[in-house]
Each structure stands twice: as structure tokens, then as C-alpha cells.
Amino acid sequence: MEKTASSSVKKRALSTSQMALIGVMTAVTCILGPFAIPIPISPVPISFTNLAVYLTVYVLGMKAGTISYLIYLLLGFAGLPVFSGFTGGVAKLAGPTGGYLVGFIFMAVIAGWFIDHFQGNRIAHVAGMAAGTAVCYVFGTVWLAGQLGISFTAGLGAGVIPYLPGDAAKIALAVLIGPTLRKEIRRLSRQ
């Protein structure tokens, strides 16, 4: 009985290579996340964080990809300047764009689930990333509208609609390079 419990714990634990990859993909998110392009019609900048999340779940899968994003979020929460515009801290999470930062957790889970369960099916991957992005948008828009005292519809206009073309391009880029990244990382992990 003891041996079975011990072996089931080992199966759940992350391997050293998985932990290293989580660290690498957290670093990628920390590098891409701060780069933001402000737009004059919205308090929400164009960010590359979602591209980093899409690529992370391709490389790591749902569970480890979500862990990687949570580490990134904790680093920013602790004050490291890893959020858009090289900012960090509790104030950023509590501010108008904080809902999107939290919403990326749901995006990682949903997109990662689709990528894990529909391997090789790029249409399903696009659907998963789009669904995850939609959930992130809803969460972020509710938060943004509450922070700014505007309607949900006005929040969509300020925090979602201007970003749709760019986010579609990021999804297309992720679907284009993600499967190759996943395949190569897994190949190298086996060596």
C-alpha cells in the first residue's frame, strides 16, 4: 500500500525538466509582458502577454502552462516590473487592467485544455485560444467597467473591440509556430 501511494505522488510531481521549462516560459512572459503599445482611446494597452500565454500552453500544456502564468502574476504582484509598461505591484492588479491580468489564468486553462486534448488539430487550437480569450475579455471588461464606472458595453468598446484584430493575429502566430515549438521541446526533453 505504501509503495502505491508513493508512486502516485511521484506521478503528480513535476520533473526537473518540467520545472526548468516552466521557469523558461515564465521568463518569456516576463520579457514579452511589459512591452505594451498604448492607444489613445483606452486605458488598456496592446500587450504581448496573451501571445506569451498562447505559446506557453503550447510548450508546457495546460497544467504547467497555467503554473507558469501564475508565477508571472506573483512576480508582478510582488512588484517586479513585468506587467505592461514595465509596471508591477498590487496597484496594477487592483487597477483598471487587473481583470485582464487575472483573466489570463482562465485563458491559459481553456487554451491549454484544447491544445492538450486536440493535438494536431489547429482549428480546435484556434477555437480554444479564442474561447479562452473571450473568457479573459469578459472577466477583464467587467473589472474595467467597475473600475471606471462605465457600462459593460462601454467597457467592451474601451477594452476589447480595438484589440480584436491584434489578438486574432497573435492567435494566428501562435498556431503557426506553437506546434513546432511543442514538438521540438518534447523531442529535446527526451534526449
Q: Is residue 138 part of a domain?
A: yes
* pLDDT over 90 (residue 81): yes
DSSP H or E segment with residue 119: none
Higher pLDDT, 77 or 191: 77
Q: Is residue 1 part of a domain?
A: no
pLDDT at 40: 77
For the stretch 87-114, pLDDT in tens is 999 999 999 999 999 999 999 999 999 9
Phi/psi at 75 (5° precision): -60, -45
pLDDT at 3: 52
Integer angstrom CA distances of residue 46 from 1, 76, 127: 54, 18, 21
Q: Which domain holds residue 130?
A: 16-33+44-185
Which of left, alpha, beta for 69 (phi over 0: left; psi -120 to 50: alpha)? alpha
- Which residue in 33, 118, 95, 102 sits closest to 70, CA to CA? 102
Integer angstrom CA distances of residue 56 from 47, 60, 79, 100: 15, 6, 22, 17
Q: Is residue 3 part of a domain?
A: no
* pLDDT over 60 (residue 5): no
The answer to whether residues 144 and 99 touch, using CB atoms and an 8 Å cutoff, is: yes
Number of domains in the chain: 1
| CATH number reported for the structural domain that contains residue 59 in this entry | 1.10.1760.20
Q: Is residue 71 part of a domain?
A: yes
pLDDT at 164: 95
Q: Is residue 190 part of a domain?
A: no
pLDDT at 122: 96
Number of residues in the chain: 191
- Which residue in 59, 176, 54, 152 sits closest to 109, CA to CA? 54
Residue 148 CA from chain centroid, whole number: 24
Rounded Cα distance, 110 and 45, in Å: 23
* pLDDT over 60 (residue 84): yes
Phi/psi at 90 (5° precision): -65, -40
Q: Is residue 8 part of a domain?
A: no
For the stretch 136-178, pLDDT in tens is 999 999 999 999 999 999 999 999 999 999 999 999 999 999 9
**3-state helix/strand/coil string of 144-159:** HHHHHCCCHHHHHHHH
pLDDT at 152: 97
Q: Write down the H helix ranges in the chain.
A: 2-12, 16-32, 49-77, 90-94, 98-117, 122-148, 152-159, 164-190
Q: Is residue 7 part of a domain?
A: no
For the stretch 8-61, pLDDT in tens is 445 678 888 899 999 999 999 999 999 888 877 777 788 899 999 999 999 999
Read off the pTM: 0.89
Q: Is residue 178 part of a domain?
A: yes
pLDDT at 37: 84
